[in-house]
Structure 1
Amino acid sequence: MPTDIMVALISLAGSGVGAFVGIIASAKLTNYRLEQLEKKVDKHNTVIERTFKLEEVQAVMQEQLKVANHRIADIEERGA
């Protein structure tokens, strides 16, 4: 087998291995970045959920405060 052909085959094999390793490294980096983004999204979603619950509680408390103010006003009117 001529030397030129052997060098070409070795270069081809080296290029193939290099490309394969590059693809694997890129896939690992992409997966890592996706995992980090998923963690951020999970944190964001929990904040949104907690905020929604707090807003619900606040609405209930405001309604209770209105009822209490009406009761106080009624008591004051009866006493006056």
Structure 2
Amino acid sequence: MTEGIIISLITGILTFAGVIITNLSSNKKVVNDIKIEVTKNQAITDTKIDELTREVREHNNFAKRMPVVEEKISNLENKINIIERVR
């Protein structure tokens, strides 16, 4: 009777150890997969931020030039009006 209990205990302990080893191995794989996915997503986010930064700078440059263009148009309109009055 005690032999059966000892065998059952050994079997239970070995099974438990197998389950723990399998779970630890699986968890390491999942953590590694998540790290890889986060790294890829971070690279995509960085690329998108760089592109948006470029677009904002381009827009800001355009916004700085617009008043200059408006002033030049106003000057040209004034010159056209003067020319039309002379005719």
**TM tier, smaller:** 0.7 to 0.9
Question: Which segments of 5 or more consecutive residues in structure 2 lack a partner in the other structure?
Answer: 83-87
- Residue equivalent to 1:34: 35
Structure 2: how far apart are the matches of 1:18 and 1:62? Answer: 64
* TM-score (normalised: structure 1): 0.77
Q: How many residues align?
A: 80
Measure how far apart 1:78 and its partner are. Answer: 4.1
Structure 2: how far apart are the matches of 1:33 and 1:4? Answer: 43
Measure how far apart 1:73 and its partner are. Answer: 1.5
Larger radius of gyration, structure 1 or 2?
2
> What is the correspondence of 1:7-46 to structure 2 with a 5 Å cutoff?
7-46=8-47
Q: Would you identify which runs of 4 or more consecutive aligned residues in structure 1 move more than 3 Å?
A: none
Measure how far apart 1:33 and its partner are. Answer: 2.2
What is the identity percentage for the equivalent residue pairs of Structure 1 and Structure 2?
11
> What is the correspondence of 1:1-80 to structure 2 with a 5 Å cutoff?
2-79=3-80, 80=82
Structure 2: how far apart are the matches of 1:78 and 1:19? Answer: 87
* TM-score (normalised: structure 2): 0.72
